[in-house]
Structure 1
Amino acid sequence: MRVDGDTGIIPLRAMTAGEILDAAVALLRERALPLLSLSLVLATSEQILLSRLREGAELAPPLYYWQLSTAKLDWVPVVATGLATEAFIIAVLGALAGAAAGPALLGHRLRNRDLFKRARPLPALMIAALLSALTFGAALAGFIGVIFVYGLAGMATAVLAVDRTANPFTAIGRAVGRATRGGMRGVFLRLLGYLVWLVIRLALGSGWIFAADMFTSVAGWDWWLAWAVPIAWTLANTVAYAALGCLDAVLLLEIRIRTEGLDISVNRARSLGRDTAAALVVRR
């Protein structure tokens, strides 16, 4: 349902870095049920996979699972897999957040169950799988490349959902172009958002782990720590992944407002009584 004249929760103007982060959290709050539900399923699956890999590599430090050693590099493929799964999950959630971001910008009402169709799940999964594979390869090659993959192409699924691009490859190309405008501003803001939520994840995850470790030292229930560690990171990652997906969607809209005049197109459509949602679609 469309309600013309309503003000959306995402400002229809250029924003500062702090305002972009705030708008992403506001979008997450508005669509908490679908975003957090999907994020919880994906984050749980990730921890099940990584727990088995860590057990096979005999990695069990208390904070974040790997031991840095120059003599033994068994942790490298485990960490590479973790980064690849992160890229996949954030990309999937970016598509869902992108489906929600347009209505949130325009002040339109959209039912939660309609978001999944608007997210274009099949091409979004293709992009997510490709980004995951690129991230895994970059991690194995020395980790530096992960920064470029995440910063340059990570908004591709949000582009797919918002711009309604013809195919996944167009979405990836357009995401790279948007991220590099204005002196790589989009790249830096994506990395900033990731670092902000990494700090929050470390605080949430390690806090639960330290508490569980104290409990086991008193009661002697060592088995509890083995469960507390993946549960703690699952809960922390659930929120962080959903927030990062929302950040991609909000950042995309802000870049389009700043560099493409999206706000002008939307206001013109409103003044002419046309469907403002059509202004979001990029037909070229």
Structure 2
Amino acid sequence: MPDVGPTTVLPRRPLTVGELLDSAVLLLRAQGRLLLPPAVLLATGEQLLLLPLRRLADAVPPIWWDDNGSVPAWWLLLAVGAATEAVIVLLLGNPAARAAGTALLGRRAGVRELLRPAGARWGATLLLAPVVGLLMLLAALLGPVWLVGYGLLGSVAAALVLDRVSGPAAVGRAARLALRGRAGAVRVLGYLGWWVLRVGLALGVFFGVESLGLVDLADPTVRVGAAMLVWGAVNSVAYPALACLDAVIHLDTRMRTEGLDIRLARTPAGLAAHALSVAGR
């Protein structure tokens, strides 16, 4: 059994909400070399995807809001942004969940191991990405329903790669786990916490640079580019952090509701990885 202590990425016991947040950060620190590069690419792609919608809505950087803009176009911008965030977190959740699984078994997975395609189930993950994106888009168009959808779909990637359920069944299993106790609420809480942090960092950096005169942001093109750069950089850290949080919440929920920690404690070390997946089906 791995040691339980402040430096343990994922202790083999149910965790408090604060410990879940700490474990997610520790997991990101341990796997930053793996998770941050794709997060940068995905966050950059998101900024480019949203640019035409921002122009359509007359959204002004860095807040991307304009009182004189079109409300329906701005609402669509918000909905598409929410859907792309969910898809990115799902994609990053694949390696994050596998890293969390090995951490629960008492070892740290190397980058080479996590990049190995065997058993990674990337095909199923990529097929589910547009499904999750569409569900989140529809939920976001309904306003507060987005919070419910986000809370329900946090375990999709972990259900695929750790529980080894089929692609369609992963959505249902994620929803069932989210409804058990606090899992969905903790996921929403984590998202809101990171949202506040993202907004504060992005606006602080942008307006700080502007006030110091380090970059001439009077030109609209430069201003848009600078805002996209700042938001992309902040999201490049926030998205993998949210993916790590999803992974630890998933395993914590299984320990709380399925006795995963007890099952692993009774399983020989050589069969622990197999028990981790079998217990979830």
Give the AA of the match of 1:192: L
Aligned to 2:209: 212
Q: Which residue of 2 aligns with 1:177?
A: 176
| Structure 1 residues without counterparts, runs of 5 or longer | none
Q: How far off is 1:260 after superposition? A: 0.9
Aligned residue for 2:15, secondary structure, equals: coil
Deviation for aligned residue 1:99: 1.1
Structure 1 residues 191 and 73: CA distance shift in structure 2, 3 A: same
Pair 1:122-2:123 in alignment: yes
**Closer, same or farther in 2 for the Cα pair 1:34/1:71, shift >3 Å?**
closer
Once the two structures are overlaid, the 10-residue window that deviates more, 251-260 or 46-55, is 46-55
| Count of aligned pairs | 273
- Assess if the C-alpha contact under 8 Å between 2:13 and 2:261 holds in 1: yes
Distance 2:162 2:214 in 1: 51
In structure 2, do the counterparts of structure 1 residues 55 and 159 end up closer, same or farther at CA, with 3 Å as the change threshold?
A: same
Query: Cα RMSD (Å) of the superposition?
Result: 2.1
Pick closer, same or farther for the CA change 1:218–1:100 going to 2, 3 Å: closer
Contact 1:152 1:175 in 2 (8 A): yes
Q: CA deviation at 1:216?
A: 5.2
For 2:161, the aligned partner's letter is: A
Distance in 1 (alpha carbons) for counterparts of 2:157 and 2:82: 17
Go from structure 1 to structure 2 and tell me whether the alpha carbon gap of 1:73 and 1:40 turns closer, same or farther (over 3 Å shift).
same
Q: 1:12 to 1:151 in 2, by over 3 A?
A: same
User: Displacement of 1:125 after TM fit?
Assistant: 1.6
Displacement of 1:138: 1.9
Cross-structure match for 1:83: 82
Q: How does 1:93-242 map onto structure 2 within 5 Å?
A: 93-116=92-115, 117=117, 118-140=119-141, 142-165=142-165, 167-182=166-181, 185-215=182-212, 221-222=218-219, 223-242=221-240
| Unaligned ranges ≥5, structure 2 | none
Rounded to whole Å, the distance in 2 between the matches of 1:21 and 1:220 is: 36
SS at 1:108's partner residue?
coil
Match of 2:47 in 1: 47
**Letter paired with 1:18:** G
Following TM superposition, by how much is the alpha carbon of 1:131 offset from its aligned partner in structure 2, in angstroms?
Answer: 1.0
8 A contact 2:58–2:65 mirrored in 1:
no
- Sort the Cα spacing of 1:115 and 1:219 in 2 relative to 1 into closer, same or farther, 3 A: closer
Distance 1:176 1:72 in 2: 32
What CA distance in whole angstroms lies between the structure 2 residues aligned with 1:219 and 1:156?
A: 44
Aligned to 2:59: 59
TM-superposed deviation, 1:109: 4.1
The aligned counterpart of 1:280 is: 276
Distance 2:217 2:188 in 1: 41
Shift in Å, 1:64: 2.3
Asked if the contact 2:39–2:237 (Cα under 8 Å) also holds between the matched residues in 1, the reply is yes
Alignment partner, residue 24 of structure 2: 24
CA 220–72 in structure 1, closer or farther in 2 if over 3 Å, else same: closer
Residue 72 of structure 2 aligns to a residue whose secondary structure is coil
Matched residue type, 2:239: Y
What amino acid is aligned across from residue 277 of structure 2 in structure 1? V
Deviation at 1:20, TM superposition (A): 0.3
State, as a whole percentage, how many aligned pairs show the same letter: 41
> One-letter code of the match for 1:160?
L
CA distance in 2, matches of 1:68, 1:221: 20
TM norm structure 1:
0.89
**1:143 alignment partner, SS class:** coil
Give the direction of change, closer, same or farther, for the CA distance of 1:135–1:125 in structure 2 (3 Å limit): same
Deviation per residue, 1:190-241 (Å, 9 max, x gap) = 0000011111101111112112332459957535322210111011111110
Of 259-268 and 13-22, deviating more is 259-268
| Cα deviation, residue 282, structure 1 | 2.9
Distance 1:261 1:68 in 2: 52
